[in-house]
């Protein structure tokens, strides 16, 4: 898996801060941008997030290349509707290499891992056989397993990144998407450290776990109520 930040809004945190200030300032936004410093922007963004005033964060977006993720994870990812996704098509691109994502839990049982990889390879080999026999890629791809690697280009604004990370960095989320969002967090934090700081499980903002069962970071609301 590899996450690469391709493009982002110039001065993403200054842009957010200037957009936020326009609601209470008579100055044009372009002047606010010129006056805004990084430290002041960081403090304002912290206040906005802590107060739940999230709309200014929609003015900065990040475009990332998500390479070597499985189709299992890409199917989870596109459920975040307030984002744009473009994925390598198995209809138009012939899969030429048997690249699969193998769950790490299988490493504990080498025999099962070997059978998993053999089954995935067998599906791929039959896919190639069908394509070479003249079957269209769009039909032959039905054989390809969900473990098949893919690449996705994703554009997401800062507000949605915080929301998505709140869900996907939860220790109870599936291992691969947790790893993916750890990579996203690292890339975003390079150019927007204040935003990156807020890419974390939602329980840190809530102060409790709102799932049925806690991972242990925070107690559930029901557990907290019992202790009162």
pLDDT tens digits, 100-122: 999 999 989 999 999 999 999 99
Same domain, 10 and 73: yes
185 lies in a domain? yes
* Interatomic CA distance for residues 52 and 44, integer angstroms: 12
Same domain, 139 and 57: no
Residues of the domain holding 171: 2-85+150-202
12 lies in a domain? yes
Counted domains in the chain = 2
Which pLDDT value is given to residue 13? 97
2-16 average pLDDT score? 97
Which pLDDT value is given to residue 224? 82
Query: 144: buried, middle or exposed (CB in 10 Å: 19+, 13-18, 0-12)?
Result: buried
Owner of token pair 């220790």:
171
* Interatomic CA distance for residues 158 and 160, integer angstroms: 6
In terms of pLDDT, which residue wins out, 202 or 30? 202
CATH number, domain at 160?
3.30.1360.170
Active site residue 115: no
Owner of token pair 């791809």:
141
Same domain, 114 and 175: no
User: What's this model's pTM, rounded to 2 decimal places?
Assistant: 0.94
34 lies in a domain? yes
Same domain, 161 and 197: yes
pLDDT tens digits along 47-76: 999 999 999 999 999 999 999 999 999 999
Q: Which two tokens stand for residue 45?
A: 């963004």
Same domain, 12 and 118: no
pLDDT tens digits along 185-221: 999 999 999 999 999 999 999 999 998 889 889 999 8
Catalytic residue among 168, 172, 190, 200: 168
133 lies in a domain? yes
Which pLDDT value is given to residue 225? 79
Look up residue 36 and give its DSSP letter: -
Distance of CA 2 to CAs 94, 113, 151, 166, Å?
21, 23, 9, 21
* Interatomic CA distance for residues 150 and 134, integer angstroms: 23
Same domain, 7 and 108: no
């Amino acid at each position: 898996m590899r996450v690469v930040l391709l493009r982002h809004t110039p001065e993403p945190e200054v842009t957010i801060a200037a957009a936020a200030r326009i609601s209470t300032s008579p100055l044009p936004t372009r002047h606010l941008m010129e006056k805004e410093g990084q430290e002041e922007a960081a403090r304002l963004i912290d206040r906005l997030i802590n107060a739940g005033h999230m709309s200014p964060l929609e003015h900065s977006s990040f475009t990332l290349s998500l390479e070597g993720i499985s189709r299992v994870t890409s199917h989870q990812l596109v459920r975040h509707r307030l984002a744009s996704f473009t994925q390598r098509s198995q209809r138009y691109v012939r899969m030429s290499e048997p690249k699969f994502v193998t769950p790490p839990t299988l490493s504990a049982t080498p025999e099962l891992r070997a059978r998993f990889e053999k089954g995935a390879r067998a599906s791929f080999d039959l896919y190639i056989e069908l394509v070479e026999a003249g079957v269209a890629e769009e039909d032959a791809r039905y054989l390809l397993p969900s473990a098949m690697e893919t690449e996705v280009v994703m554009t997401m604004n800062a507000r949605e990144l915080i929301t998505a990370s709140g869900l996907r960095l939860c220790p109870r989320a599936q291992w691969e998407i947790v790893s993916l969002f750890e990579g996203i967090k690292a890339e975003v934090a390079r150019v927007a450290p204040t935003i990156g700081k807020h890419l974390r499980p939602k329980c840190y903002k809530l102060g409790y776990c709102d799932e049925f069962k806690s991972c242990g970071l925070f107690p559930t609301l029901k557990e907290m109520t019992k202790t009162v």
